[in-house]
Amino acid sequence: MGDSAWDRKTRRLVEVPGGAAGLEPGLARGRYDGSSDLLGRYVCRACTQDLILRGAKPGSKKLPHFSHQNSQGCPASAERRRRIELDDQVVIDLRDRLIRAWPDATVTLELPHAPGETPVAGMPPAIVICGPQGTVVVERPPSLPGPEQLGTRLRAVRARYGAGASHVWFLAKDPLQFARCGKLNVAPRGRDRAVHVTIAPTEQQLAIVAAGGGVYWLDGQQVLIPYGVHDFAHEPGQKEDWGFTDWRRSWRNDWFISHPLPARDASRWGLVPSSLHQLTSAKATFDLAEARDLMQRLEDVQRARWRRRRADAAELYASRHAPANLVAPTDITVASPAAPAEPATQESAASEPVPSSGGSHTGSLTTEEPTGVAGAAAPAVAAVPEPSAASSSVESPAPAVAVPPPPPYPPYSTPAARVVRQGRWRGFLRRVLGGHGNER
């Protein structure tokens, strides 16, 4: 006894008793697959055997239900029947939410299959939404089937609803189809910085995207929409140096985005978080405008990021390959204080010739003293010889500056100071002893 079955005639999932109106009671055999064979209209989802609709006649004392022939039980295991019922219930709950979001659209549960082919075993029915924007086929499987079964489902949807129909897959966040690859720090242009989860796509997910379908993850009210993350390393261009010593500027490793669908050669997929309410805000279609706008902002900012990083690499190259400043060091000579000149005697003045103003001794130095008495002869100072070319190349070391000795410590006191201090003590004793200090 069951409450649901697959209807070969309408290719839909039939739920009773609410959906029993207009159904043929009994076995209801007919030609439903395009061949001359008579088949039962209703099929068990667990064992694919024909089912009989009972209790659908007017005046029946039993509620409408499906049963196997001769009232036999389903040969499928209890675990398989339970799993199929749970998977169907997940799809039914999502269908009810979409009906509330799009009350003007026609929402049905169907098992799409190509003519001459049987439906994919184990997969729950698809939610088919027919609205003013077109047809949307929504899949909500617990896990993706193998590549062959998945290809059969993709071909069946295209054959039944046309190439213009949107094929959307909502997956669960289980480890088999949600392999985490770390986190990605993003800074969309005009938005706050955020952290996006990245995953490694599976072959089935890549096949869905290659067929033009959309892969999303549904976790309660949150929907994760993927984009492609292509990791790469910048190749140093001409006059660029990417060997930054600061670990925070390890900018050679970079990435670029592919969207709105991730490219097949993407290293991983980044996920944009959204809400199911925001996704279903449009009429009978999924509105991806918000997520696609954020993806475009990420692409806009990556161009500016590349320009900035290459400019920093060029600046680092210029700083490391700048020519050395070949400036000779300036010789700084500390001149010693000049010793006071001794007064020249008359003998020395007479023995040393005094050059005249018109002489050719340009290297000598003469000084004139002010004449205090008119007609007094000015004593001459010894001339400083001009250094020759040979001696100018090697400078003589500067004379050492005499350092005065440090003052004594403790400071030496003069005898006068001692007398003063003794006088002070005598005056103090004189006042204390009443004048007796004068007696000595």
**pLDDT tens, 339-348?**
554 544 444 4
At residue 329, the pLDDT reads 55
Residue type, 375: G
What is the per-residue pLDDT across 376-416, written as a single tens digit (0 to 9) for each?
Answer: 444 444 444 554 444 444 455 556 656 667 665 555 555 54
Mean pLDDT of the chain: 77
At residue 94, the pLDDT reads 94
User: Distances from the Cα of 339 to the Cαs of 335, 336, 342, 381, in angstroms?
Assistant: 12, 9, 9, 13
Question: Which one has a higher pLDDT value, 176 or 357?
Answer: 176
pLDDT at 257 over 90: yes
User: Distances from the Cα of 238 to the Cαs of 116, 133, 270, 306, 401, in angstroms?
Assistant: 62, 52, 32, 15, 57
Distance CA 195, CA 245 (A): 26
Residues in the chain, how many? Answer: 440
Tokens of 117: 């082919």
Residue type, 298: L
The contacts of residue 17 (CB under 8 Å, 6+ apart) are 3, 55, 63, 64, 65
CB 269 within 8 A of CB 229: yes
Lowest-confidence range among 22-26, 52-56, 358-362? 358-362
DSSP conformation letters of 2-58: BSEEEETTTTEEEETTTT-TTPPPB--EE--SSSS--EESEE-TTT--EEEEES-ST
Question: Which one has a higher pLDDT value, 110 or 251?
Answer: 110
At residue 390, the pLDDT reads 46
**Nearest Cα to 99, choosing from 286, 284, 313, 297?**
284
Task: State what percent of residues in the chain have pLDDT above 90.
Answer: 32
Eight-state DSSP code of residue 411: P
pLDDT at 267 over 90: yes
Question: Which one has a higher pLDDT value, 263 or 361?
Answer: 263
The winner for highest mean pLDDT among 54-58, 230-234, 257-261, 427-431 is 257-261
Tokens of 376: 């007094």
The winner for highest mean pLDDT among 18-22, 179-183, 335-339, 416-420 is 179-183
**Nearest Cα to 92, choosing from 115, 68, 110, 77?**
110
Query: What is the three-state SS of 195-208?
Result: EEEEEECCHHHHHH
To the question of pTM greater than 0.75 for the whole model, the response is no
Instruction: Name the pairing type of β-strands 222-233 and 253-258.
Output: antiparallel
Helix (H) and strand (E) counts in the chain: 8, 17
**Nearest Cα to 136, choosing from 210, 212, 203, 84?**
212
Tokens of 102: 């799009």
